[in-house]
Amino acid sequence: KRKGIDEAVNYLTGKAEYLRYDTALERGWPIATGIIEGACRHLVKDRLDITGARWGLSGAEAVLKLRAVRANGDFDAYWAWHQQQEFIRNHQARYRDQVIPTA
């Protein structure tokens, strides 16, 4: 029992600078987990916890990344980058010096 208590004390002591709730409250920062829990529900649970859905790790991760990009308002910038990467992968890398072979 003592070992567990010591580990908890050491952990909290090491994170003391991040646990200044008085400072956070003075600055108007949220200290409750409700905001984080709400974001998790919105981004994760609402999409992945659909009845009958089956998710593999890579598919779930891809969908969550897209949802986060969209929720952050970065989708247009991401999509432009994605299209550029697709062009490079499908065209530029295949046809050196921009020469497309003809039949």
Instruction: List pLDDT tens digits, range 27-82.
Output: 998 888 887 888 888 888 888 888 888 989 999 999 999 999 999 999 999 999 99
- The answer as to whether 8 is a domain residue is yes
Residue 35 pLDDT = 79
- The answer as to whether 52 is a domain residue is yes
- The answer as to whether 94 is a domain residue is no
- The answer as to whether 85 is a domain residue is no
Query: How large is the average pLDDT for residues 85-95?
Result: 80
Task: Choose among 77, 78, 43, 41: nearest CA to 61.
Answer: 43
Residue 96 pLDDT = 67
- The answer as to whether 44 is a domain residue is yes
- The answer as to whether 12 is a domain residue is yes
What totals of helices (H) and strands (E) does the chain contain, helices first?
6, 0
Q: What is the span of the domain harbouring residue 21?
A: 2-75
DSSP state of 101: P
- The answer as to whether 45 is a domain residue is yes
**Number of domains, the chain:** 1
For residue 88, CA distances in Å to 13, 33, 74, 84 come to 50, 42, 21, 6
- The answer as to whether 68 is a domain residue is yes
CA–CA separation, 63 vs 49, rounded Å? 13
